[in-house]
């Protein structure tokens, strides 16, 4: 059964080196204005105005006994009497809106964590054997440093293997070192995508973060080097999805969930409930997660004590109500993609 | 428990010199002056300014009063830049005195921006331009996450409802610093005004002298300060970038600000500059004390002004031809005013048949014209035409090669428009600078005048904002090789209300 599932999984994963020749694709290099237009087209109908993000921040500021920390400071539990809250920003598509968000936080003296996606078009592109970074990137990084937010890498090491057929660990190591050379203090990463995209979670590249023992085929049929790199040796202190392997993991169920790439969709109620609440391969080392997934559309999922929280497609007002009602001693994360607050 | 008999607080905006003053006062024989002792109320001052601090008196009683009560000695002082909202509470709780230290806002803005770029990288961290940070400043910013940066948090920001609230994210750092300086000094002025007169004194620390500092010491009850030591400490420029072993900054001295920087600063801080007496003239912002001295003292006589006229003869003849052309087109020009007329060379003759009023900054030139030019239809006036519009409106107000030597080119144009009934006409001898977004000003102290390069875009914007029509800003060939084109401005002025 497991073998069959793994076979399916292998077929579902794009592998440019193992199949027939990839189709020839050509496009003209993009300026930032063209990139903005493309992002606007891709996310049409899914965004909120930026003022919505500011309303969120002001709402959190008005919430009593809420300690908002960067994710790098959330690893040591919650100080007594407070509720710890992290604002995780996955910068998948829109670095300019990420900067705007970081500045809105700075204006309010609030912490936020921003993870730059090293495989995103705004970050860079492969040209033959060379990965060429966007020349605007250093200025964005410096601006984020001045804004005072936490900067991390949105880890897509497996994407580098599976989509580009390149060494994902080298990419991770190189980009972390490069961001540090610009002056950024990089303490952690957050995995991009979910296991159904590549057959494994991006954080499984790190030693000790494997979900269960298995081989996941990578480029050329060679297995992906899961667990092959030490976070400590990369100078990393945490992984910001806060996922931990389930002690009661059922490999078949986990593999089946991983193999079903077609179902994996943040706008699918069933999949999101499974992923956030009843995930067959991991549990979460945070109490509640709040995900912004569309125009005033949130998903709330988590467990506090014996209480299970699950709310689908709720508005900001409900989110703030839930945040205000979190018990003391809890640790929660809000997942925000700056691209979702780029609306006019 | 002892309790100092005199307690004082130095209140100021950051980068005004309060650390320098505190260090000097701390050398007194009978007291101490602490620099930013903790807790320094960074968070509380922002909350108070935002109207979100429920009980400021409780904050003072829990933090500052116990600290003061622990001090020994006759006199105890503190300097902090965060006490503005707490001035009445400090006075009520401690019966203290306040030294209100001020510095020209333009110097403070420059110092704050340079402090950000060279030293800390953390001033108004939300600013869209991170600035040209030195390695030291970048490292400093990276090591201080914003949620731990109470110093930057302490700086005021516009609140919802403030007209600046929405525009804030588009402001430059210099504008944010101008807002900071203005907001803090207004706060100090307002709070101190509610106290008895003898509870505070002000010191202008823009160019402090030892005498200034000794007067402050006397006000605070401090003794034992020696003038020579005070002077040496002032010369050391305590807490300047060089004192803190950082390179000098790149942000220009305000005397070299271009028109954009001046306008941006004034928009946010001019009212406070006037309140504090740094601006004395409500119409214009920047008039060095010796401005115009060259024209007043220059003794080149008629030969020199003839030479000047001939060196730009084509430009002068172009103007005379322009007047004739308007008349031929059926628009009578009966009167003209010449801003910066010198000795009236050329024009007194060209417009002999018209009402011609020459306006000059130089009394000597005006006296010469009155004595030597006897056309009864002509008059000569001595006045600073930049600040004082002409009270006898003329059909055409013109200025040939003078506006670019004035201290405020936009104000000069404004004055010309206010003085004209039909048209203004100005030529700018320094050249044609189509790439300039803002006027570029350069004060030359040895000549007591400015050598400015005018931005065509700004000239047009200024005139259109004044309601002018048919605005034309264009390059005009001079026939010379050193300055091949001059800038010419013509505009029809709006009709005057009667």
Quick: pLDDT tens for B434-469: 999 889 888 888 888 899 999 999 999 999 999 999
Residues of A whose CB is below 8 A from B153: 109
Q: Which residues contact B116 (CB under 8 A, 6 or more apart)?
A: B122, B123, B124, B131, B133, B137, B173
What band does B283 get if pLDDT is binned at 50, 70 and 90?
Answer: low
Q: Does residue B35 sit within a domain? A: yes
Residue of B nearest to A101 (CA): B126
Do residues B1 and B69 lie in contact, with contact meaning Cβ atoms separated by under 8 Å?
yes
Give the pLDDT band of residue A14 (cuts 50, 70, 90).
Answer: very low
A104 touches chain B (CB under 8 A): yes
Distance CA B151, CA B107 (A): 20
**Same structural domain for residues B264 and B230?**
yes
Average pLDDT for B287-294:
80
A142–B contact, CB cutoff 8 A: yes
Reported as a pLDDT band with limits 50, 70 and 90, residue A9 is very low
Specify the pLDDT at position A146: 97
Q: Show the CA angle centred on residue A13, arms to residues A11 and A17, nearest 5°.
A: 90
At residue A100, the pLDDT reads 96
Nearest residue to B165 via CA among B178, B177, B156, B173? B156
Listed in sequence order, the residues at least 6 apart from A331 whose beta carbon sits closer than 8 Å to its beta carbon are A74, A77, A78, A83, A84, A85, A86, A286, A287
Residue predicted with more confidence, A342 or A89: A89
Please report the pLDDT score of residue B244 as a whole number.
67
Give the minimum alpha-carbon distance from B55 to chain A in angstroms, rounded to a whole number.
17
Q: Would you say residue B401 has pLDDT above 80? A: yes
Q: Is the model's pLDDT at A12 over the cut of 50?
A: no
- For A282-336, the pLDDT digits (tens) are 999 999 999 999 999 999 999 998 899 999 999 999 999 999 999 988 999 999 9
Strand A186-191 relative to strand A238-239, pairing = parallel
The torsion angles phi and psi of B338, rounded to 5 degrees, stand at: -110, 105
pLDDT band at B496 (very low <50, low <70, confident <90, very high): confident
Helix/strand/coil for B79: strand
pLDDT given at position A128: 81
Would you tell me which CATH number, out of the four given (1.20.120, 3.20.20, 3.10.50, 3.40.50), belongs to the domain A34-242+323-341? 3.20.20
- Subunit contact B149:A147, Cβ cutoff 8 A: no
Q: Quick check: is B497 in a domain? A: no
Phi, psi (deg, nearest 5) at residue A294: 180, -165
CATH number of the domain where residue B162 is located: 3.40.50.300
Which positions in chain A touch B133 (Cβ < 8 Å)?
A: 142, 146
In angstroms, how far is the first alpha carbon of chain A from the final one?
Answer: 50
Please state the separation of Cα B70 from the chain's center in Å.
43
Within this chain, do residues B299 and B271 fall inside the same structural domain, yes or no? Answer: no
Percent above pLDDT 90 for chain A: 74
Q: Closest partner residue to A148 among B131, B141, B169, by Cβ? A: B141
- Which tens digit of pLDDT belongs to each residue from B351-392? 999 999 999 999 999 999 999 998 999 999 999 999 888 778
* Nearest residue in chain A measured CA to CA from B117: A146
Q: Are B217 and B91 within one domain? A: yes
Q: Within an 8 Å CB–CB cutoff, is residue A105 touching chain B? A: yes
Give the pLDDT mean for A95-110.
96
SS3 A180: helix
State how far the Cα of B306 lies from the Cα of B320, in Å rounded to an integer.
17
Contact predicate A236/A189, CB 8 Å? yes
Q: Which residues of chain B neighbour A109 with C-beta distances below 8 Å?
A: 46, 146-147, 149-150, 152-153
Chain B residues close to A184, C-beta within 8 Å: 142
B88 plus B209 within the same structural domain: yes
* Minimal Cβ distance to B128: which of A103, A142, A150: A103
* Cβ within 8 Å, pair A106-B144: no
For B98, the domain range is: 6-275
B391/B72 Cα distance (integer angstroms): 65
Once rounded to an integer, what is the mean pLDDT over residues B164-190?
A: 96
Determine, yes or no, domain membership for B284. Answer: no
The answer to whether the Cβ–Cβ distance between B146 and A104 falls below 8 Å is no
Do residue B299 and residue B269 come from a single domain?
A: no
The interface pTM score, or ipTM, of the predicted complex is: 0.86
Q: Rounded to whole angstroms, how far apart are CA atoms A180 and A175? A: 8
For residue B192, the distance in angstroms to the closest alpha carbon of chain A comes to 28
Residue of B46, B122, B133 with shortest CB distance to A142: B133
A185·B144 Cβ contact <8 A: no
Smallest CA–CA distance, residue B52 to chain A, in Å, is 10
**pLDDT at residue A296, as a whole number:** 96
Q: Do A185 and B139 touch (CB under 8 A)?
A: no
Task: With cut-offs at 50, 70 and 90, classify the pLDDT of residue B477.
Answer: very high
Q: Where are the domains of chain A?
A: 34-242+323-341
Q: In whole angstroms, give the CA distance from residue A309 to residue A81.
A: 21
> CA-to-CA distance for B372 and A7, rounded, in angstroms?
107
Winning range, highest mean pLDDT, from A12-16, A33-37, B269-273: B269-273
Q: Are residues B47 and B120 in the same domain?
A: yes
Domain boundary among B249, B275, B301: B275
Q: In this structure, are B158 and B192 located in the same domain?
A: yes
pLDDT in tens, B479-490: 888 899 999 999
Contacts of A69 in chain B (CB under 8 A): 147
Residue B284 has a pLDDT of: 56
CATH at B426: 3.40.50.150
Question: Which of A108, A146, A149, A180 is the best substitution to test chain B (most B C-beta atoms within 10 A)?
Answer: A146
Same domain, B315 and B264: no
Q: What is the mean pLDDT of residues A144-165?
A: 96
Quick one: pLDDT band at residue B101, thresholds 50, 70, 90? very high
What are B60-66's contacts with CB under 8 Å, separation 24+? B60/B86, B60/B89, B60/B90, B60/B93, B61/B93, B63/B39, B64/B90, B64/B93, B64/B94, B65/B93, B65/B94
Number of structural domains in chain B: 2
Q: Is A184 helix (H, G, I), strand (E, B) or coil?
A: coil
B144 CA to chain A: closest CA distance, Å?
A: 7
Question: Quick one: average pLDDT of A173-189?
Answer: 96
- CA–CA separation, B278 and B262 (whole Å): 14
Q: Using CA coordinates, name the residue in chain A closest to B152.
A: A109
Rounded CA-CA distance B68/B70 in Å is 5
User: Do residue B239 and residue B319 come from a single domain?
Assistant: no
DSSP letter for B118, please. Answer: I
User: Whole-number mean pLDDT of chain B?
Assistant: 91
**B18-25 vs B210-220: helix crossing angle, rounded to 10:** 60
Query: Residue A5: what pLDDT?
Result: 41
Report yes or no on B97 lying in a domain.
yes
CB contact under 8 A, A149 and B127: no
> Where are the extended beta strands (E) located within A157-224?
186-191
| pLDDT of amino acid A11 | 45
**Mean pLDDT over residues A178-188, rounded?**
96
B285 in any annotated domain: no
Q: Which residue has the tokens 């494994």?
A: A200
pLDDT at A7 over 70: no
- Best of A148, A152, A181, A182 to substitute, by most chain B Cβ atoms within 10 angstroms, is A148
Judge: A109–B128 Cβ closer than 8 Å, yes or no: no
- How much of chain B, in percent, has pLDDT values that exceed 90? 68
Whether pLDDT at A2 is above 50:
no
* pTM of the shown model: 0.82
pLDDT at A326: 92
Question: Looking at the partner chain, which of B128, B133, B145 has a beta carbon nearest the beta carbon of A111?
Answer: B145
Average pLDDT of B242-256?
78
Q: Do the Cβ atoms of A107 and B168 come within 8 Å? A: yes
For position B298, what pLDDT does the model report? Answer: 77
By DSSP bridging, strand B335-339 and strand B355-360 are parallel
pLDDT in tens, B110-162: 999 999 999 999 999 999 999 999 999 999 999 999 999 999 999 999 998 88
pLDDT for the residue numbered B498: 53
pLDDT of amino acid A75: 78
- pLDDT tens for residues A42-69? 888 899 999 999 999 999 999 988 999 9
Q: Which of A71-75, A203-207, B181-185, B443-447 has the lowest mean pLDDT?
A: B443-447
Residue of A38, A44, A157 whose CA lies nearest to A93: A38
Describe the crossing of helices B227-235 and B18-25 by its angle, rounded to 10 degrees: 150
Residues facing B489 on adjacent strands: B426, B473
Mean pLDDT, residues B184-204 taken together? 94
- The answer to whether the Cβ–Cβ distance between A103 and B169 falls below 8 Å is yes
pLDDT higher for B411 or A6?
B411
By C-alpha distance, the chain A residue nearest B150 is A109
| Same domain, yes or no: B256 and B316 | no
For chain B, the farthest-separated pair of C-alpha atoms sits apart, in whole angstroms, at: 93
Q: In chain B, what percentage of residues exceed pLDDT 70? A: 97
The reply to whether B319 and B179 lie within a common domain is: no
pLDDT at B245: 67
Subunit contact B152:A68, Cβ cutoff 8 A = no
């Amino acid at each position: 059964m497991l073998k069959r599932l793994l076979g399916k999984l292998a077929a579902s994963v794009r592998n440019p080196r193992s199949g027939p020749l990839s189709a020839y694709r050509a496009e003209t290099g993009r300026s930032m204005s063209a990139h903005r237009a493309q992002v606007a087209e891709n996310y049409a109908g899914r965004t909120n105005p930026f003022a919505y993000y500011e309303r969120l921040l002001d709402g959190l500021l008005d919430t009593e006994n809420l300690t908002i920390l960067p994710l790098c400071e959330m690893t040591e539990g919650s100080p007594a009497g407070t509720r710890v809250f992290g604002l995780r920003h996955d910068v998948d598509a829109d670095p300019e809106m990420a900067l705007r968000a970081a500045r809105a936080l700075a204006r309010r003296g609030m912490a936020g964590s921003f993870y730059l996606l090293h495989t995103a078009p705004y970050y860079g592109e492969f040209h033959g054997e060379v990965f060429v970074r966007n020349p605007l990137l250093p200025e964005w990084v410096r601006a984020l440093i001045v804004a005072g937010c936490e900067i991390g890498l949105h880890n897509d090491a497996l994407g580098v293997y599976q989509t580009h057929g390149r060494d994902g660990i080298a990419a991770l190591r190189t980009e972390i070192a490069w961001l540090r050379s610009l002056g950024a203090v990089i303490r952690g990463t957050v995995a991009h995508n979910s296991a159904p995209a590549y057959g494994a979670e991006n954080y499984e590249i790190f030693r000790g973060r494997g979900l269960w023992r298995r081989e996941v085929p990578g480029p050329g049929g060679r297995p992906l080097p899961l667990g092959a790199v030490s976070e400590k040796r990369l100078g990393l202190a945490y992984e910001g999805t806060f996922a931990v392997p389930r002690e009661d993991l059922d490999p078949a169920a986990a593999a089946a969930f991983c193999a079903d790439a077609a179902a994996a969709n943040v706008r699918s109620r069933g999949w999101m409930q499974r992923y956030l609440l009843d995930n067959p391969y991991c549990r979460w080392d945070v109490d509640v997660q709040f995900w912004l997934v569309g125009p005033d559309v949130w998903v709330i999922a988590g467990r506090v004590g014996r209480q299970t929280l699950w709310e689908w497609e709720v508005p900001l007002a409900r989110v703030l109500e839930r945040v205000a009602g979190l018990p003391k001693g809890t640790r929660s994360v809000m997942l925000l993609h700056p691209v979702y607050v780029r609306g006019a | 428990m002892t309790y100092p008999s005199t307690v004082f607080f130095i209140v100021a905006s950051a980068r005004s010199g309060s650390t320098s003053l505190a260090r000097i006062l701390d050398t007194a024989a009978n007291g101490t002056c602490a620099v930013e002792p903790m807790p320094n109320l960074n968070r509380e001052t922002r909350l108070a300014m935002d109207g979100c601090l429920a009980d400021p008196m409780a904050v003072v009683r829990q933090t500052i009063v116990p600290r003061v009560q622990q001090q020994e000695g006759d006199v105890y002082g503190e300097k902090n830049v965060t006490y503005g909202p707490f001035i009445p509470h400090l006075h009520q709780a401690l019966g203290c005195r306040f030294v209100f230290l001020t510095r020209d806002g333009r110097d403070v803005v420059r110092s704050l921006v340079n402090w950000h770029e060279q030293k800390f990288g953390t001033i108004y961290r939300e600013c869209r331009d991170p600035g040209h940070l030195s390695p030291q400043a970048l490292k400093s910013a990276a090591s201080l996450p914003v949620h731990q940066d109470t110093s930057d948090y302490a700086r005021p920001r516009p609140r919802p409802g403030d007209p600046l609230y929405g525009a804030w994210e588009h402001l430059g750092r210099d504008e944010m610093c101008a807002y900071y300086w203005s907001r803090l000094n207004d706060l100090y002025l307002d709070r101190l005004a509610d106290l008895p007169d003898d509870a505070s004194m002000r010191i202008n620390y823009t160019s402090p002298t030892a005498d200034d500092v000794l007067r402050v010491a006397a006000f605070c009850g401090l003794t034992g300060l020696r003038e020579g030591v005070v002077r040496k400490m002032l010369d050391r420029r305590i807490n300047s970038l060089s004192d803190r072993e950082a390179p000098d900054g790149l942000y220009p001295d305000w005397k070299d600000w271009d028109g954009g920087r001046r306008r941006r600063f004034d928009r946010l801080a001019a009212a406070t500059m006037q309140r504090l007496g740094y601006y004395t003239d409500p119409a214009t912002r920047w008039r060095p004390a010796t401005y115009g001295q060259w024209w007043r003292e220059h003794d080149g006589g008629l030969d020199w002004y003839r030479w000047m006229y001939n060196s730009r003869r084509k430009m002068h003849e172009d103007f005379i031809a322009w007047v004739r052309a308007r008349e031929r087109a059926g628009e009578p020009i009966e009167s003209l005013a010449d801003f910066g007329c010198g000795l009236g060379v050329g024009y007194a003759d060209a417009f002999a048949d018209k009402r011609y009023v020459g306006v000059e900054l130089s009394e000597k030139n005006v006296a010469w014209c009155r004595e030597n030019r006897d056309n009864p239809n002509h008059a000569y006036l001595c006045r600073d035409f930049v600040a004082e519009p002409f009270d006898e409106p003329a059909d055409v107000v013109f200025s040939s090669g003078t506006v670019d030597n004035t201290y405020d080119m936009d104000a000069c144009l404004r004055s010309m428009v206010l003085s004209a009934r039909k048209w203004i006409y100005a030529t700018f001898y320094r050249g044609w600078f189509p790439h300039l977004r803002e006027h570029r000003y350069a004060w030359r102290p040895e000549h007591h005048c400015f050598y400015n390069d005018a931005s065509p875009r700004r000239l047009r914007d200024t005139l259109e904002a004044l309601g002018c029509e048919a605005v034309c800003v264009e390059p005009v060939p001079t026939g010379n090789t050193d300055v091949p084109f001059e800038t010419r401005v013509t505009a029809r002025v709006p009709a005057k209300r009667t």
